[in-house]
A and B are shown apart, each in its own frame.
Chain A
Amino acid sequence: MADYFIHVCIAIFLLPLAAFGIVALFHNRLPRHGDWIVISFMGIALILALVIFGGALRAAAHHQPLSQQRSWEWLWLNFPKSHAAQTGAAGAAAHAPIEGVSPSGAVRVGILLDGLTAVMLVVVTVVSFLVFLYSSAYLKGDVRYGRYYACLSLFATSMLGLVLSDNLLTLYIFWELVGFCSYLLIGHWFERKSAADAAIKAFITTRIGDVGMLIGILLIYSNVGSFRYEDIFRYVHDGGMSDSVRILGLEGSLRFWAAIGLFFGAMGKSAQFPLHVWLPDAMEGPTPVSALIHAATMVAAGVYLVGRMHPFFPPEALLFVAYIGAITAALSATIALVMDDIKKVLAYSTISQLGYMMLGLGVGGEVGGVAAGFLFGLFHLTTHAFFKAGLFLGSGSVIHAAHHEQSMWQYGGLARKLPVTFATFLIFTLALCGFPYLTSGFFTKDGIIGAALQFGMQHPTHKILGWTALGAAGLTSFYMFRLIFLTFFGQPRNEHLYHHAHESPWAMVLPLLVLAVLSLGFVGSNRTFGLIHEASWFSTLVKRPTPGAHSAETAPAAEPVAAHGAESAAAGRGSEHGTDSVHLLPEAHHQALVGSITVFLAGLIGAALVYYFQWIRAEAIARLFRPLYVLFLNKWYMDHLYRACVILPYLALCYFIRLVDTYVIDAVVNFWGWAGRAGAWLVGRVDWGVVDGAVNGTAWTTGFAGRLLRFTQTGLVRNYILILVAGATVLLLLFWKI
């Protein structure tokens, strides 16, 4: 049984890899550029992922959470095993050697299959499969159709590898691979300069975050001596990495700084403030790519990382995560209010929702946090993946119908032309805005807001987190209904475009329908799969790994499950804080419920007043709050800020270096070149005059003598004899002794 699931995982990972190999090499010879290979392989992977998911649910129902691991020795590094152990730092020196760290220094990598992995596998394969199917219609006849599918397949491989990894090393490798695929796919239409620029921007911005992540990983490895999650968790659980380090005048434990480093990577990948600027630009890629990579899966990798490494994050680092998340959620929601491009609105909405997830994870700390926050942060990642992928695919359908016009001011009244798209889009929007009880987004977002509010109750200084989340939820409702009203309602603002609009083919409509079903309330409800006592199916599957409770988890759960859903893991830790339950405190839950329904309605009514009934003119509001409007329209001047603070200094530095290059290095090089030429000229003169002169002179002399002597060469024997006789006579006379 144990091996069976691991083998299925390997199959899931290898299927898209094989599809990538085939399509990348042979797409020119395959019919339809081999898209059917990619789609069908992904379909098989999807079925396998569902098998694992079912197995995980069954295991969780028997209170034996799925947790399987298989690892292999991979690299042999002869680094000093543990820096802390060598220096004899407090707390770390006494530790016994960590299991799994072999004495040879080999790095073990492998597969970790637990509830979170199972959920992520389903999310990635479902969205990938639907997007692959959708792309076959959306990109029909594209110039680089085969390359597109090869990239998609590679992306799916990398993403699956990322969620299957049981260690930070392979996670980092796949992390970079998804970033690389994202780069390729954003720049799919690289003939457009904007697309090429956006691809570079996305790549570089995320890479900046990844530097932090690499530092974090290396910090961890140099201390723990292993990349594997469980080793790391056990190490810090036993008090490792607690040395105090001062960086930039801030005092923090080594663990804190490593966690911040990891979070930097997550900030880049999940487009958190201030590294969020790449995601809106990434909308230059094909819309299905935006749905798959820049809404559902890759950008969620940062959230996944923080969730996966959650036990590693100390409370201070989690607070940082929470604040970044809250800022991101609010800031990008305000920008989404004023965007005209339908995809840009959705992009900022994605950033905002990712902020929510980070906020949830941030307040979900083990010590003094709200356990539900952790849970709902990851749960929101799941539900968001479905409805946000749906929103993007729906917008793709609209864009497809509108002949690639993306400005919402050119739409209007499209509900009549695109009925299926409209219906599904409405469901996705309601899920995103949190329509009570009927949509999945309600449960998860409500949970995050509730967790943030409860965190504020426990720590009054951080009350602002919950209120920010609530306010951003209202903004979400407003901008999403603005999008709906502008796109689907009212009179057509562009008659020509309206006239030619048509519903999309089945390959695009079917994914929308499937995703719409997956966005309905049952996904987030606690009644799904016959669960009444647990908060949801998700909370039965996903538990925060707790090194201390390791044995409690694997042992058959002896303690009866309390009516209020105290899990076995929570029981193992004790509940002195009273917040370890996946349930929120009643007052926080109540506040969140009332608050989020209120802001949802407020946003809906506000948007309706302005954009449907048009009782209030949007221009009037814009004029009234002109400074704010300009601020939002310019995206809080973040791009300007980067331009002024990073890009321009960088360019200035480059310019300066170029000057140095031109006037110093080139001058030296040129001088030596000139000197060499002058020396060569001199030597050349000598060569010509002296050496050549001597050689030529010899040759000329010989030639001249020959020319003279050839007159004696008559060819007449008689002459020769005459000369001979004459010579003999002369000799005779000379030597005649008288």
Chain B
Amino acid sequence: MTDVANDGMRAKTAAVAKKGAASQARHLDERLGLAGGVRWLLNYIFPDHWSFMLGEIALYSFIILIITGVYLSLFFVDSGKEIIYHGSYLPLRGVKMTEAYQSTIDISFNVRAGLVMRQMHHWAAIIFIGAIGIHMCRVFFTGAFRRPREINWTIGLTLMLLAVANGFFGYSLPDDLLSGTGLRIAYSVFESIPIIGTWIVYWLFGGAFPGDNLFERMLVIHMFVLPLLILGLLTAHLVIIMRQHHTQFPGKGATETNVVGTPMWPGYAAKSGGYFFMTFAVTAALAGVAQINPIWLYGPYDPYKVTTFAQPDWYIGWLEGSLRLMPNWETHLPGHMIPNAFFPGILLPGLIFNVLYAYPFIESYLTGDKTPHNLLDRPRDRPARAGFGAGMLTFFFILLIAGSDDLISVFLDTPLQLVVWVLRVLLFVAPVIVGLVTYEMCRELSKVPDGGKRKRANIIVRTADGAYHSVPSEPHPADEHHELLPAPVGEADLPVLVGAAMTPGRGGPPLTAPSGTVGSTAPSGIPGVSTVTRDTPPAPRPQRGLLPGFGLRRNRRPGNGSGGNGAGGGGGTGS
């Protein structure tokens, strides 16, 4: 009904249509008083960066989950009652199963469009949690969780936990052999909690495993309780984002006090709306061609049937791995016991998520940085944070691999015990190594001014008398933001040799970059040389942190910024 004027119509038609749109807006405003709020919303500016799409994927897959989930709920039977199957899927005829399992088989084979909906639902769940995870990594490594956004970090983390829990409940509902085994493990893990564990599982399951009212209760939790919580927190998450406005990367005129990007209306609405449909399209394509959770192959759950190679969905896999790597310790107290599963299944994830919840406050304590931030860090500029994050991800990754240790053992034709022992060692060694390597790489990278940008090509020209000259090529029009500044080797960039007398004059006048000199003196290798220089003490860092590594490591080129205190600096700016 609106947004014309840009699509190539004649000016006259545009004017007419615009009038129509405007009159509709007036019509609504007179009845609802929208003008102030909605205009604010339409003018809301979204900074442009591809990584800001990750949260949107999560949001959109949640919508897909609701739509497909409603369809599935019309056919699913939440009953643990046992029946004998006489349906259309021949291999299972005459097999004893619950009505929950039977209805899932029916959805897959007898309900038209049922299988594609079921598979879309499952894929969307996997994409939902995956997108949340990657979105969280983006927020973590770029420091988007810093003041004033600590609250939204904790809300986001809670959303992730709720999403994982709901994924697990949904995965358990069909009552197939694989998910039933997973439920049995979950039961034992929660039963292992000291003092209240046995009560918790009895409250949830209604009694000893498998319990009397399990499917009815799981369905209420899966369809009502958790989605409602997710919806509420999601709304809070988005409202807080709108209130605080998005963060943005420095550059292209972005400062701590402005937002540079595309307004909601019409550009962003069109792009993001299109993105919603594209997320839907990818999910549908996966559902069409990539089979997922073929429960008819696993068979119905029977507590005494044995599964082999049982892997849960990936977001639970790291907990499975944690259970598998745990040595067989159990704590005995007088008259009481803390079972083995408590330590890897409850204590470890509990500790990890507490650290994650507290991380914004921990980092702010370590760096002493209490100022609000709207500009993001490049990960390399915060080596300690990047190292910690990389180490944490490695830890999760090893646990995830360990969740498939039996498959690795078969694949590598290696005894399971060896695989487990290697993974046990790696679990503690690999994160440290990865963390330190990341830390060191980030430190080195952050010393290189404008590291990661492209160098302008030099064209070697041979003259008629055989002499060679190098001439810098023309800049590519689209490359402006990615290119190194064509600067000669300056005083400040010369290597330090010995003694204070040779230390480059950092306080001297800023270098200008006369482009004509590029290529004739020392066209390449400047960053390499300057790496050495950066070992000299740079301009004083703004933080007074306890751990220097957590502070900002970025050293800006003297001619390019405002000295050591860059635009994303830890202190001073933005308050």
A and B from one complex? no
Which positions in A face B, CB cutoff 8 Å? none
